[in-house]
Amino acid sequence: MKPWLWLPPKLAHDFSPWAIDLYSLFQSEIIPTWNSFTWKNLVFKNRLGLAGGVDKNADHLPAWSRLGCGFVEIGTVTPLPQKPNAGKIFDRSVQDQALWNKMGFPSAGAEEVFFNLKSFKESATLPVLINIGKNRTTANELAHVDYVQLVHHFHSVADAFVVNISSPNTSGLRDLAKPESLELFLKPLAESQRDYDIQKPILLKLSPDLEPDELKRILDSAVKHEIDGFVLTNTTLARNTQKQFPTEGGLSGLPVQLQAKKALKVAVAHLGSEKTKKLVISVGGVMTAEDVFERISLGADLIEVYSALIFSGMHFFRKVARTAHEYKQEPTN
């Protein structure tokens, strides 16, 4: 029974923050650790985490921990607070197992999110990745200033950064991944790390709509600038559902599954021996436990979900943990 799917999509979405906190409070069972993983001193109790966009302002971190997440990606956080795009910004189709959104980085802004994260980090060890994005009023030529500012702002509390240059909902954002912009964009980001003794990994979150050659070129630039990993992928502008969604905005869930898997395969093959040094996170259309273990078999180090939480429910992390032994994912405690 999934009563939230009876509610209108936007109402269910607005109601979910309270539901997450409440539901998690009633979870007393200890979630089995599976296939734990250590990378650059970060310890992941399991490989499954929360995708960017679910907990944009780091408001629910204790709840994710109780629900059995191996890690959480918060954000997208922008330097200054900003409201969502005007008009309709969220919809779903149960028959297509699809979510549609045109949110455009609604964010409480760096100051408030820092405060939330700092309080959580004082007593918790759950790895938290911070997904960062530019304010919509910042021109692309100055985008790097927003991103570098966010890296400095969150450096003391971040376990890693996810640089979002792939949302289709901030005008021109995907242009930052084009050859003429990418080098200029990555250089100051990489340099921002040199100010610190302890460096925090920087990952790039990329679009599923890239052609394989475009993806390979971005990977090459990123490797050159010592970017530490990749989150593959964001939502798609492609349309392959029975329900007619607007042409703008991004689709998640089953409609992005094939593209996300293809991007993962292309990246793993192209990175070759370099892959052992990089963190590759697969996200997009992971709807079942079987999908999680398939992504691991395809070379993903970590997996993230958003849509599965809507269509299966918040017990998804627990369900995967319970199934892990069937996929020979060794328990580690």
Ligand X SMILES: Cc1cc2nc3c(=O)[nH]c(=O)nc-3n(C[C@H](O)[C@H](O)[C@H](O)COP(=O)(O)O)c2cc1C
CA dihedral 67, 285, 129, 120 (to 10 degrees): -20
Active-site residue flag, 221: no
Return the range that interacts with ligand X (CB under 6 A); candidates 172-180, 209-217, 248-256, 263-271: 248-256
Q: In what order do the strands lie in the sheet with 98-101?
A: 90-93, 98-101, 250-253
Asked whether 193 and 202 are in contact (CB, 8 A), the reply is: yes
Q: Which of 20, 72, 99, 150 binds ligand X (CB under 6 A)?
A: 99
The H or E element that residue 130 is part of is strand 128-132
- Site residues for ligand X, 13-32, by CB under 6 A, read none
Among residues 65, 166, 167, 307, the one annotated as catalytic is 167
Return the range that interacts with ligand X (CB under 6 A); candidates 52-60, 134-142, 210-218, 289-297: 52-60
Q: Give dist(CA 130, CA 117) in Å, integer.
A: 10
Decide: helix, strand or coil at residue 77: strand
Per CB under 6 A, 256 contacts ligand X: yes
Per CB under 6 A, 153 contacts ligand X: no
Report the residue number, 106 or 212, with the smaller CB distance to ligand X: 106
Per CB under 6 A, 47 contacts ligand X: no
Per CB under 6 A, 284 contacts ligand X: yes
Per CB under 6 A, 104 contacts ligand X: no
Per CB under 6 A, 131 contacts ligand X: yes
- Site residues for ligand X, 172-211, by CB under 6 A, read 205
User: Which bin fits 68, alpha (ψ -120 to 50), beta or left (φ > 0)?
Assistant: left
Q: Which of 164, 207, 259, 282 binds ligand X (CB under 6 A)?
A: 164
* CA dist 231 → 1, 35, 49, 103, 260 (Å): 32, 20, 12, 19, 10
As measured in angstroms, the least distance from the Cβ of 317 to ligand X is 13
Q: Which of 212, 210, 207, 205 is nearest to 228 (CA)?
A: 205
As measured in angstroms, the least distance from the Cβ of 172 to ligand X is 16
Report the residue number, 192 or 233, with the smaller CB distance to ligand X: 233
Q: Which of 303, 321, 330 is nearest to 27 (CA)?
A: 321
Give me 55's structure tokens.
């907990």
CA 209 to chain centre: 16
As measured in angstroms, the least distance from the Cβ of 158 to ligand X is 15
Residue closest to ligand X (Cβ) = 53
Which residue numbers are catalytic? 167
Q: Which residues bind ligand X (CB under 6 A)?
A: 51-53, 56, 76, 90, 99, 101, 103, 105, 131, 164, 167, 205, 234-235, 252-253, 256, 283-286, 305-308
